[in-house]
Amino acid sequence: MDWIRRYILFHGKRHPQEMGKPEVEQFLSHLAVERNVAASTQNQALSAILFLYKEVLEKDIDWLDNMERAKRPARLPVVLTAAEVRAVLAHLEGRPRLMANLLYGAGLRLMECVRLRVKDLDFEYRQITVRDGKGQKDRLTMLPDALVGPLQTHLADVKILHEQDLRAGFGDVYLPFALARKYPNAGREWGWQYVFPASQRSIDPRSNIERRHHLDEQTLQRAFKNAVRASGVAKPASCHSLRHSFATHLLMSGYDIRTVQELLGHKDVSTTMIYTHVLNRGGKGVVSPLDAI
């Protein structure tokens, strides 16, 4: 591994068995101070060294396990205004538009959206069940009224595609964990199909079975990037910016932060608190002395 090689060369090709905590700290400090690497890069180096001592050299390294890792600097999220969201969405069409509407309208993460199953949409109660989200937790979020009709129309087309796969001898979708063994026929059922399936079947590398996977997330990412550019929005917005905008706009509408925390699936309310920066206006809500005169 490249980081292990750099670690050994940095210490004059000394054998790692002869080195310990001081040498590791010296190398990591060199990366941060002299090489000015990002916190994520420094953590990559530490992970490689950890692997070297624990798995290769089989050396007891309690001191390395307890070593504090560099923290990424806090970054404020990119939040679009309501007008900017409308402008970007206006340059999307078809499935990318429907998916982007879900990211903004329900606060979904990108992968939560592409992994949605038909059974996760509850049109009667107007809610979406997000399965195995970040932290391996399920949560409920709203299903916007404006998307009920478009989603039902979209699912009608998806069902036709699924029925064609079944007639061709396919139609079995990937099931998570041990469900495939527990319910061997569930993968062919309509409820387990992806809401946004791929246009073509492919070979599943885990089982070598030909099946239809969900849509590649890069399809939406590319379409959204092009839409941002076409809309003239100057912010470095990504698909995740729609989730940030969802949270911020709910808080601006007067919803309490605990409700927004539950809809987003945040473990700690302090994570949700970052969206309050927009509510304070620029400069923490302080009126500039220039405006006073």
Q: What is the pLDDT of residues 24-55, one digit of tens each?
A: 888 888 887 777 777 788 888 888 888 888 88
Is residue 65 over pLDDT 70?
A: no
What stretches of the chain show up as alpha helix (H) in DSSP? Answer: 2-10, 21-33, 39-51, 62-65, 82-89, 94-106, 110-114, 148-167, 179-182, 217-231, 239-252, 257-264, 269-272, 276-279, 289-292
pLDDT given at position 212: 94
Cite the residue boundaries of each domain of the chain with CATH code 1.10.443.10: 75-285
pLDDT given at position 69: 59
Higher-confidence position of 132 and 1 = 132
pLDDT, tens only, 168-186: 999 999 987 777 788 888 8
Q: Mean pLDDT, to the nearest integer, of 111-123?
A: 96
CATH class (in words) of the domain with range 75-285: mainly alpha
The pLDDT mean for the chain works out to 87
Interatomic CA distance for residues 264 and 271, integer angstroms: 10
Is residue 160 over pLDDT 90?
A: yes
Cite the residue boundaries of each domain of the chain with CATH code 1.10.150.130: 2-65
Residues annotated as part of the active site: 109, 134, 240, 243, 266, 275
CATH label, 2-65, candidates 3.40.640.10, 3.30.70.360, 3.30.930.10, 1.10.150.130: 1.10.150.130
Model pTM greater than 0.85?
Answer: no
pLDDT given at position 293: 61
Is residue 141 over pLDDT 70?
A: yes
